[in-house]
Amino acid sequence: MENYAGFWIRFGAYIIDAIILTIGQWIVFSIFGVSLFSADMLDPAAADSLATGGFGIAYAITTIGSILYFVLMESSAKQATLGKMALGLIVTDTDGQRISFLRALGRYFAKILSAVILMIGYIMAAFTDRKQGLHDMICSTLVLKAAPGETAVDAGVFE
């Protein structure tokens, strides 16, 4: 029997990843002199300067960086983002093998569909037999409680 990762442990891994990415975004935006939380954001002149200044560059860097974070890490030998690693999860194909860069990229963009339909694509992981979200089904992937290269482990390890 496979050790599928359910909704809540996957959600916890995503929270860890979101914190890491947010810190990275703050750093990039501050390098470009952009503060997203300052009072001058209410000033129309400040908004104009953001449109022509470093905001666009910082936004592009953080967007591409976020995509690469998920795609490169999930297709790497670790088979997981830092959040998934922290909780003992890996991403595999349905045969338990490491996923390719292109499959990880497809999975990333399929997550947009999972989110756009009121997060139902993510919530599906709580109710499907193999704990797959819509994006996992589209890309034929699984999220397992396992170490890289393993497809199943003793369930007692995670209790």
Residue 42 pLDDT class (50, 70, 90 cuts): low
Closest among 66, 64, 69 to 82, alpha carbons compared: 69
Q: For residues 77 and 85, what is the distance between their CA atoms, to the nearest angstrom?
A: 12
Task: Give the pLDDT score at 56.
Answer: 85
11-41 pLDDT, tens per residue? 999 999 999 999 999 999 888 877 766 545 5
Q: For residues 13 and 15, what is the distance between their CA atoms, to the nearest angstrom?
A: 5
Q: For residues 122 and 135, what is the distance between their CA atoms, to the nearest angstrom?
A: 8
CA dihedral 99, 101, 147, 115 (to 10 degrees): -90
45-82 pLDDT, tens per residue? 666 655 557 888 999 999 999 999 999 999 999 999 99
80-93 pLDDT, tens per residue? 999 999 999 999 99
* pLDDT of 157 strictly over 80: no
125-156 pLDDT, tens per residue? 999 999 999 999 999 999 999 988 776 544 45
Task: Give the pLDDT score at 30.
Answer: 87
Task: Give the pLDDT score at 34.
Answer: 76
Task: Give the pLDDT score at 158.
Answer: 46
* pLDDT of 43 strictly over 50: yes
